[in-house]
Structure 1
Amino acid sequence: MACRVQKRVSLRRRLHIQRVLTNFNNNANIKRSPIANITFLHIHKLKLELENLKREYENLIATRRYYINLLNDNVNDNNDVKIEKIKAGTFMVKVTCEKGGDKLVDILEAFEKMCVNVEQARVSCENGFSMEAIIVAEDQNLDVREVNEVLLKAIGKKSGEKGSEKL
């Protein structure tokens, strides 16, 4: 007897929870359609909402990938060398190019061939290769144009060309 009462109480609790979850308060409608059908409809609506959210998430991921590719393309298109003369024989060098290869090694070898000393340098490979350096030439007659040509050859471009080509 006590077991039947407990089952009835637990069934009433579950039905009450289902009514609350489905926002169903009208007792007249409960008699017309069973709570199981209402619960099924509620679950179906939740599944549809979940599918919509998944679709929106996939669209956002695709949009994110598209913009990241655009940013990477813009970074990779900026292959250049900028050189500023600070004082006689001292230059500020800024190099940006695409990732890959031994760019740093090639640039340092080019500095060595020009007989320049690197006083300070900062290198980054986050979105392509970039380097900022202060170099001091042993020969005071070194020109900005000469440094520019040597560095362009070192990173794989001939001076005056837009595309990069390995020498």
Structure 2
Amino acid sequence: MASRLQKRMTLRRKLHVLKTLTNSKSVKKSSIIFDAFLHIYKLQLKLEAIKRQYLYLMKHIQEVKVEKVGEEFLVRVTCKKGQDVLVSILEAFEEMGLNVLQASVSCNYFLDIEAIVKAQDQGIDVREITQAVHKAIGKQDGEGTQIV
């Protein structure tokens, strides 16, 4: 069995760890424990705020960037995952007469697409491609996104 002195030293060590983790200035054991509970509660509130912000981003993120590189276009799309979003984007490319030369797709938390496309018709510009991709994403979200 551990002696009283060892138990007291163990308790003091644990209270010291609690004081350093929570930046408590208290001296009494009950105050240190209360400060620890308060610190845990504040951390829980911060975690909930981060989760709400993350869920908001997951729901509303949508970014489309199109750059002209020589005769080809570099299309970067980041949006929330949804059923057949990739298919809608590829169908939009096909309707515009764009051939996908190379593509990279990632679908961890968001749908990330990076594609190099080449237009069969030379009259297509960056704005038309951007609008078509936004329209394809908006179709899947059930919203009519307005592009300015």
TM-score by length of 2: 0.65
Structure 2 gaps, min length 5: 10-28, 139-143
- Considering Cα pairs closer than 8 Å and 6+ residues apart, tell me whether 1 or 2 has the greater RCO: 2
* Percent identity for Structure 1 against Structure 2: 36
SS of residue in 2 equivalent to 1:22:
helix
Partner of 2:98: 116
Q: CA 1:159/1:19 → structure 2, altered by over 3 Å: closer, same or farther?
A: closer
SS of residue in 2 equivalent to 1:140:
coil
Q: Which moved more, 1:124-133 or 1:113-122?
A: 124-133
What CA distance in whole angstroms lies between the structure 1 residues aligned with 2:83 and 2:37? 40
Structure 1 gaps, min length 5: 1-13, 24-44, 162-167
2:74 is aligned with 1:92: yes
What CA distance in whole angstroms lies between the structure 2 residues aligned with 1:103 and 1:152? 11
Greater C-alpha Rg = 1
Contact 1:76 1:128 in 2 (8 A): no
What CA distance in whole angstroms lies between the structure 2 residues aligned with 1:141 and 1:72? 40
Contact 2:62 2:79 in 1 (8 A): yes
2:137 is aligned with 1:155: yes
What CA distance in whole angstroms lies between the structure 1 residues aligned with 2:146 and 2:127? 10
2:1 is aligned with 1:18: no
Match of 1:64 among 47, 62, 74: 47
CA RMSD after TM alignment:
2.8
What CA distance in whole angstroms lies between the structure 2 residues aligned with 1:115 and 1:73? 35
Contact 2:99 2:118 in 1 (8 A): yes
* Shift, 1:99, TM fit: 2.6
Q: CA 1:160/1:121 → structure 2, altered by over 3 Å: closer, same or farther?
A: same
* Shift, 1:71, TM fit: 4.2
Contact 2:131 2:147 in 1 (8 A): no
* Shift, 1:100, TM fit: 2.2
